[in-house]
Chain A
Amino acid sequence: MAADPYEVLGVKKDASQSDLQKAYRALAKKLHPDLNPGNKQAEERFKEVAGAYDLLGDEKKRARFDSGEIDASGAERPQQRQYYRDFADAGSQYSSDAGFADFADDDILSQIFRGRGRGAVNMRGQDRHYRLELEFLDAINGATQHITLPDGASLDVRIPAGTRDGQTLRLRGKGAAGIGEGPPGDALVEVTVRPHRLFSRDGDNIRVELPISLSEAVLGGKVTVPTPTGSVAMTVPKWSNTGAVLRLKGKGVARTDGGHGDELVTLKIVLPEKPDPELESFIAKWGGGGAYNPRQAMEA
């Protein structure tokens, strides 16, 4: 036995036809499956409401129902039908992207839009993020490192020469697999560079502090200087002070344009570890030693 159509529409038995229509429209607006695609319960309720209005909305049928000639279940039922929303996911000639076309530049959504054909979904795979700690010289000179992934697979990461601390390397296609025919995502490797015992990096230049002896500082001479690519010979000019900076051209970090930065060598005069009586007596006899005041500039 079907429910009382008057109750379904929420009207009294003596309601006018226009009251019936008003009640039907108010309910149908809330319950129509196509106007409420997210409401799964709507379809059953809407069927009831539509059936009730089918009966009562027609004055002749309503009169026959009121007089008991036909009951609610004997009324003509709306035929089984598929709602428009049932086709929404498959996509059709009516599919519209106007509701989100302005998001098309968004990374995530653009993948979805690209895959938005009829039916099939193709999406680019997710990017995967990894961290890698590098030795200073590997970052400067370039190297190949192996990362072991959580699933046991390993990944070869080519470190380009001149990689900086904090830089992120993108390995195309090494991320998660794509959905459908979508391409795989990328692996994004964030690099941390360990500090070096001797070298530090200053943009494209390498800085190193080079201890020199007192006699090298005073008389000048050839010294051996470490660089990231091996040791080179360098001439210290005579009368070089602590803090003086000498430049080794092209011994710095590889640049993307193919050139190289320089190595900047900061001199530091170092006295012998053990006191040298000969040097002490020489300095004591050195007349000019007391006359020179290097702190002159500091005085007010």
Chain B
Amino acid sequence: MEAEKFVVHARIDIQTLETWVEAGWLVPGRVEGSVHYSEVDLARAHLINDLAGLGVNEAGVPIVLDLVDQLHGLRRVLRHALAAARSGQAGEG
């Protein structure tokens, strides 16, 4: 979706969006040369909004985002490792 539609869904104004993109909190992709916001970007924007509501300040947001991304990465690896361990057991058992 374009920026205009995105800000409505994310309940933010266009200046806020620009600030977030500039800060690297959101990294929109590009489709045919123009900036494109995806569902992931929207979900991330909601999270940033919630963090602000939780009292996380501007300096805290990127820290939380980074840790959340790391946590997601770890959960992903853990899930794959478990799947691999399980398929290995099934094969040998």
- Asked whether A95 lies within 8 Å of B84 as measured between CB atoms, the reply is no
| Cα distance A268–B9 in the bound complex, in angstroms | 96
Which residues does chain A contribute within 8 Å of B71, judged by CB atoms?
37, 99
Which residues does chain A contribute within 8 Å of B80, judged by CB atoms?
112, 115, 121, 123
Residues 86 to 100 of chain A near chain B (Cβ within 8 Å): 86-89, 91-100
User: B residues touching A (Cβ–Cβ < 8 Å)?
Assistant: 27, 29, 38-40, 42-44, 46-47, 50, 53-55, 64-66, 68-77, 79-81, 83-84, 87-88, 91-92
5 pairs from A and B in contact (CB 8 Å cutoff): A28-B53, A34-B47, A37-B72, A85-B72, A123-B80
- Asked whether B27 lies within 8 Å of A93 as measured between CB atoms, the reply is yes
Answer whether residue A158 sits at the interface, using C-beta atoms and an 8 A cutoff. Answer: no
- Asked whether A83 lies within 8 Å of B66 as measured between CB atoms, the reply is no
- Asked whether A98 lies within 8 Å of B84 as measured between CB atoms, the reply is no
Given contacts A32-B54, A84-B47, A92-B40, list 4 more A-B pairs with CB under 8 A.
Answer: A24-B53, A28-B53, A82-B43, A94-B44
Which partner residue on chain B sits nearest A121 by CB separation? B80
In the assembled complex, how far is the CB of residue A117 from the closest CB belonging to chain B, in whole angstroms?
12
- Asked whether B84 lies within 8 Å of A126 as measured between CB atoms, the reply is yes
| Cα distance A260–B80 in the bound complex, in angstroms | 48
Q: Pick the residue among B64, B74, B77, B87 that contacts A126 (CB under 8 A).
A: B87
- Asked whether A87 lies within 8 Å of B81 as measured between CB atoms, the reply is no
Answer whether residue A234 sits at the interface, using C-beta atoms and an 8 A cutoff. Answer: no
- Asked whether B88 lies within 8 Å of A176 as measured between CB atoms, the reply is yes
- Asked whether A83 lies within 8 Å of B47 as measured between CB atoms, the reply is yes
| Cα distance A21–B54 in the bound complex, in angstroms | 9
Which partner residue on chain A sits nearest B48 by CB separation? A84
Answer whether residue A81 sits at the interface, using C-beta atoms and an 8 A cutoff. Answer: yes
Q: Pick the residue among B66, B70, B76, B81 that contacts A89 (CB under 8 A).
A: B76
Which partner residue on chain B sits nearest A93 by CB separation? B27
- Asked whether B74 lies within 8 Å of A99 as measured between CB atoms, the reply is yes
Given A37-B72, A95-B69, decide whether A126 and B88 contact each other with a Cβ distance below 8 A: yes
